[in-house]
Amino acid sequence: MSRPARLFVYGTLQPQAGTRMARWIKGRLVRSEAACVPGRLFAVQGGNGWFPALVPAKSGSRVQGTLCELALALGDLSLLDRYEGPEYRRACLPVQTGGGGSVPAQVYLWRIGLPPGAPAIAGGDFADWLRRTRRQPFSTLRNGA
């Protein structure tokens, strides 16, 4: 039995990211749209590539991503939590949709200190940053997920 959930993703979980976990998200996708949240985005290197760290901010900077409506089974959110690991915490935030509305959604926020030298991602778009810098997204198995 599945239940609907809204999840804002901005990095390797985006359905178009091409990673293993992006394909997992895509398989549960009911609908998606471009969206953004207030915050600053940083790049963190780990495993076999790069992943983003969203640091909350009250105003100013925006992080670009995808608002996903997902059909999740019992335990699917805990699988995502395990994959994201202790560096992130899941929180419910208002997400601005492409149409200008605002809806609450689950978002993974960076919760520990950033690694020294973690580059800020100007414009808050991780996929664009990967393209511009010719870097690869993180796709390693993580925390059993």
Taking residues 84-90, what's their average pLDDT?
95
Residue of 97, 99, 112 whose CA lies nearest to 54 = 112
Residue 70 has pLDDT above 70, yes or no: yes
Residue 138 has pLDDT above 90, yes or no: no
Task: Let me know if domain 2-133 sits in CATH 3.10.490.10.
Answer: yes
Under the banding of pLDDT at 50, 70 and 90, the label for residue 48 is: confident
Distance CA 96, CA 110 (A): 19
Query: 1-10, 13-22, 124-133: lowest mean pLDDT where?
Result: 1-10
Q: For residue 113, give every residue at least 6 positions away whose Cβ sits within 8 Å of its Cβ, in sequence order, or none.
A: none
For residue range 113-131, what is the model confidence (pLDDT) as tens digits?
Answer: 999 999 999 999 999 999 9
Burial of 75 (0-12, 13-18, 19+ CB in 10 A): exposed
Instruction: Please give the model's pTM, rounded to 2 decimal places.
Output: 0.92
| pLDDT score for 115 | 95
Residue of 115, 126, 119 whose CA lies nearest to 36 = 126
Q: What is the CA radius of gyration of the chain?
A: 14
Pairing of strands 102-110, 2-9: parallel
